[in-house]
Structure formats: structure tokens, C-alpha cells
Amino acid sequence: MRQRAALSPSSTGLVVEHHSNHGPARQIDQEVQVLNHCFDDIERFVPRLQAGVQAAREIEKRARQRRSKKKQGDATATALTMRAQLPQPNSFIDVFQKFKLSFNLLARLKAHIHDPNAPELVHFLFTPLTLIVNSLRDMSVQIPELKGITRSVWLPLVSRDAKELLLNCLTSKEQDLWV
């Protein structure tokens, strides 16, 4: 029996192979559901972060322009300020924990998932991870609480199998980010 679990509305989906709905197959299904939830949460976090970063840049740009000109009232400034609300440090911790959990789950599920397979999904995860880490580097100057937050996330520990999966499939650019 083949079951199809959607990873996200924008992805192609994940094909999971199993033969029963009891025991190990049930655990595989549950782990795939958890993985899907992690992917969904990561995919919801990224646009929120991007909107906040973009709005913060626009506010900074307008502030520089105002310094060079006479101050003028701006009706959109309030809306822009509201959009510039960046995720709280706890939200970053939460999303990094979901990345780590996703890597652990991909390592456990790699024999059971296909189209896309575990290494392809690792690469898929590194796109938003790169964006988040790069945004953090830019923002940590303005928001000191964010400095070093990536290294402060210990749990969940990355399993030995997940480390092996990452070691075997990461590109050199992805490895540089991971280390």
C-alpha cells in the first residue's frame, strides 16, 4: 500500500511505503506527520521573517531620507512599523528545534520515504535554514538578543544517524552553514 503525505502546498509531496497500519507502519505514519508539521511551521516562519526584515529595511531607508530632508508626516509609517515586527527570540529557537527534529526524522525515515527522498529533503530544508541564518546575522547588530542564538539551541540533540545523513549529503556550502 502506498500513502501520500503532503509536505506543503508548494511541494510535490512525499511518498511513504509500508504494508500495514499496525506497529512499525503506524509509527512511520506518525513520524511523517510530525515531519510534515515541522515543514509547515518552517514554511510559515520564513515569510513572517522576510516581511519583518523587509519592513525594517524600509523604515531604516526612510529614516535616512528624512535626515537629509525636512521631517514630513507619513501615513504608511505606522503600518510599516507594524510589519517590521520581527519574530521573537523564542520563535527562532522553536524553528531551529524543528530543523533539528526534521533532520532526526529524515534519518529515521530515509528507508521509507521516496519522491523526494531524505537527501533531497535535507537540501530542501537548507534553503530556508540559510535564509534564516543570514537574516539573523544581519539583525543581530540591531537586536543583540539574537546574537549567537543558533548555537544556543541544544535540544533536540541531532542523532548519530542524522549526523551521518548530513555528512553524506550536504554540499560544501551547506556544510559551511551547518558547522
- Per DSSP, the residues of 123-168 read HHHHHHHHHHHHHHHHHTTT-GGGTTTGGG---SPPPHHHHHHHHH
With beta carbons less than 8 A apart as the criterion, state whether 2 and 15 touch.
yes
Radius of gyration of the chain (CA): 20
> Residue 122 corresponds to which cell in the numbers above?
535535507
Q: pLDDT averaged over consecutive 10-residue blocks of the chain (179 residues)?
A: 32 47 79 94 92 76 69 54 69 94 95 90 94 83 74 88 93 88
Q: What is the pLDDT of residue 68?
A: 62
**Burial class of residue 73, CB neighbours in 10 A (0-12, 13-18, 19+):** exposed
Handedness of CA 41, 128, 171, 113 (dihedral sign): positive
The single-letter code of the amino acid at 76 is T
